[in-house]
Amino acid sequence: MVQRLDILKETPSQTAGPYVHIGATPNAIDIAGVWQTDLGSVMLTAETTGERIVVKGRVIDGAGRPLTDALVEIWQADAAGLYNSPQEPRGTADRHFVGWGRQAVDRDTGEFCFATIKPGSVPFGDGRLMAPHITVWIVARGINIGLHTRLYFGDEAVANAGDPVLLRIEDRSRIATLVAPKDLSTDPPTYRFDIHLQGPQETVFFDI
């Protein structure tokens, strides 16, 4: 029977495979001439306001091995808690801050590293302020649907304790998988955020 043309069916999910980097981060895999700089590789300018920070981490599989073919994206608000989006209703975000980053992890170490700023608080749907956080999205070979999680900051204990999203996590012990400790020995300070796909330290992922 021929399918009716006015009905669209969902396309089956497929693993990102090793080819996602060709279209998303060609320079990272030594394909020159597509873009001068991979989209999302630079988030800051000299004029960006806010506290400079570095976010580092790895995507780790169930056997404890870092993935070396993962692609990581982050989204966040600026230092005032405003998103760089035409749908931002609360004001105009810092025009010197992109608010979005994309990186292929290092092919030897599996590490990602974003130079960014610490975001301000943004309101939850009911108006309550959420703790400062960064949204993280991960794809890699073997992952059929991109995984969403959040990075919260280890030096924001009071804000984290009242965060509306963290309060919804029933297993309170798992909140630690979303909190990145701060390393003051670096300049700018570094927040370490390792993402565990499986196992006893599995990161909390969100169905959004």
Closest CA to 43 of 120, 100, 119, 112: 100
Per-residue pLDDT tens over the stretch 29-79: 888 888 888 888 999 999 999 999 999 999 999 999 999 999 999 999 999
Tell me, what's the pLDDT at 153? 98
Per-residue pLDDT tens over the stretch 86-121: 888 899 999 999 999 999 999 999 999 999 999 999
Q: Say how many domains are in the chain.
A: 1
Tell me, what's the pLDDT at 142? 77
Of 2-16, 29-43, 181-195, the poorest mean pLDDT is in: 2-16
User: What's the average model confidence in pLDDT over 195-200?
Assistant: 94
On the question of pLDDT at 1 being above 60, the answer is no
Tell me, what's the pLDDT at 171? 95
Considering the domain boundaries, does residue 125 fall inside one?
Answer: yes
Q: What is the CATH number of the domain that holds 103?
A: 2.60.130.10
Considering the domain boundaries, does residue 48 fall inside one?
Answer: yes
Considering the domain boundaries, does residue 43 fall inside one?
Answer: yes
Considering the domain boundaries, does residue 201 fall inside one?
Answer: no
Partnered with residue 130 across adjacent β-strands are none
Q: Which residues contact 46 (CB under 8 A, 6 or more apart)?
A: none
Distance of alpha carbon 128 from alpha carbon 157, whole angstroms: 17
Q: Which residues contact 39 (CB under 8 A, 6 or more apart)?
A: 24, 102
Considering the domain boundaries, does residue 208 fall inside one?
Answer: no
On the question of pLDDT at 13 being above 70, the answer is no
Tell me, what's the pLDDT at 144? 77
Considering the domain boundaries, does residue 11 fall inside one?
Answer: no
Can you spell out the DSSP letters for 95-126? TT---EEEEEPPTTT-EEEEEEEPPPP-B-TT
Tell me, what's the pLDDT at 15? 66
Tell me, what's the pLDDT at 110? 95
Per-residue pLDDT tens over the stretch 124-176: 999 999 999 999 999 987 787 899 999 999 999 999 999 999 999 999 999 99
Tell me, what's the pLDDT at 139? 92
Domain hosting residue 33, numbered range: 17-196
User: Where residue 204 falls among pLDDT bands split at 50, 70, 90?
Assistant: very high
Considering the domain boundaries, does residue 205 fall inside one?
Answer: no
Considering the domain boundaries, does residue 6 fall inside one?
Answer: no
